[in-house]
Structure 1
Amino acid sequence: MQGLNKVTLIGNLGKDPEVKMLEGGIALAKFPLATGESYKDSEGVKQTQTEWHNIIVWRSLAEIAGKYLKKGSSIYLEGKIKTRSYDDKDGNKKYVTEIIADNFIMLGKPSSDRANINETI
């Protein structure tokens, strides 16, 4: 049986996307995305929990993210979850879980810069 690796998030950027151009002119963008959920605790007091997600975007979508997304931007995104490992400077194995986005939609009121986004895609 095959599995399904699908993530759907709606949240706000924690900082501006960091865009890098790799060999061959391939764009890569990284940014943190905050999602929140609210509930009432046993005493009826509203509690809010924020979860932070490490987002990775590739190619033309990365270029669009770098041009139009800013800290605080609200987006809907779809992608897959991926965990990778690396060794830190002391030789300890570290793990990072990231969301590899393959699609996003900017939410909220369009800014003047993105008014003509369809012309640039």
Structure 2
Amino acid sequence: MNKVVLIGRLTKDPELRYTPGNGAAVTTITLAVDKYNTKTGQKEADFVPVVIWGKQAESTAQYMTKGSQMAISGRIQTRTYDANDGSKRYVTEVVATETQFLSKGNQSSNASNSNEYSMPANDPFSGGNFEEDITPVDDGDMPF
């Protein structure tokens, strides 16, 4: 099985291109995915190249910017190509099949889409100490 799920932040603005043959939209991004180094106790990041195709590619390029958080799921792909200097290059990347925008990117110039990814004004999770409001759940009867 080849399935990858990542949540991270864009390291730069998405790059939208169209293929020369059939004009398919393709966007490439790099996600900075946090990880915890148990030896040093420090938070680190892996930088994962991601390729997004079709309508999802266009939406990502339109709404996401450097620093935006997004989730992707897809598959790992390894490919090779010959560089200009004649050497063989190997590329490992994630090909996204699903994307989800987790934070607001840039705003569209179209007014009807300007609030498409914004949080509601009465968001109950916008501040405060949540630990005081959490009720523990007894999961002793759960089968897993």
| TM-score calculated relative to the size of structure 1 | 0.81
The one-letter amino acid paired with 2:13 is D
Counterpart-to-counterpart distance in 1, 2:85 and 2:35 = 36
The counterpart of 1:51, out of the listed 46, 49, 52, is 46
- Return the structure number with greater strand share: 1
Match of 1:7 in 2: 4
Indicate whether 1:38 and 2:36 are aligned.
yes
Measure how far apart 1:112 and its partner are: 5.1
Could you tell me which of 7, 13, 17 is aligned with 2:14? 17
Aligned length: 111
> Which letter does structure 2 place at the counterpart of 1:83?
T
| Structure with more contact order per residue of length (Cα contacts < 8 Å, sep ≥ 6) | 1
Amino acid in structure 2 at the alignment position of 1:18: E
State the partner residue of 1:115.
115
Q: 1:64 aligns with which of 59, 67, 88?
A: 59
Structure 2 distance, partners of 1:61, 1:112, is 17
TM-score normalised by length of structure 2: 0.69
- Establish whether residue 79 from structure 1 lines up as the match of residue 74 from structure 2: yes
Structure 2 unmatched runs, 5+: 109-113, 118-144
Gaps of 5+ in 1: none
Shifted more, 105-114 versus 51-60: the winner is 105-114
Q: Hey, what's the Cα distance between the residues in 1 that align with 2:47 and 2:104? A: 23
Measured after TM superposition, the shift of residue 75 of structure 1 is: 0.7
Q: Counterpart of 2:5 in structure 1: which amino acid?
A: T
1:111 Cα offset (Å):
6.4
CA RMSD of aligned residues (A): 1.9
Instruction: For 2:31, give the aligned amino acid.
Output: L
Q: Tell me, what secondary structure is at the counterpart of 2:73? A: strand
Q: Distance in 2 between matches of 1:72 and 1:87?
A: 32
Say if 1:65 and 1:110 are closer, same or farther in 2 by CA, change over 3 A.
closer
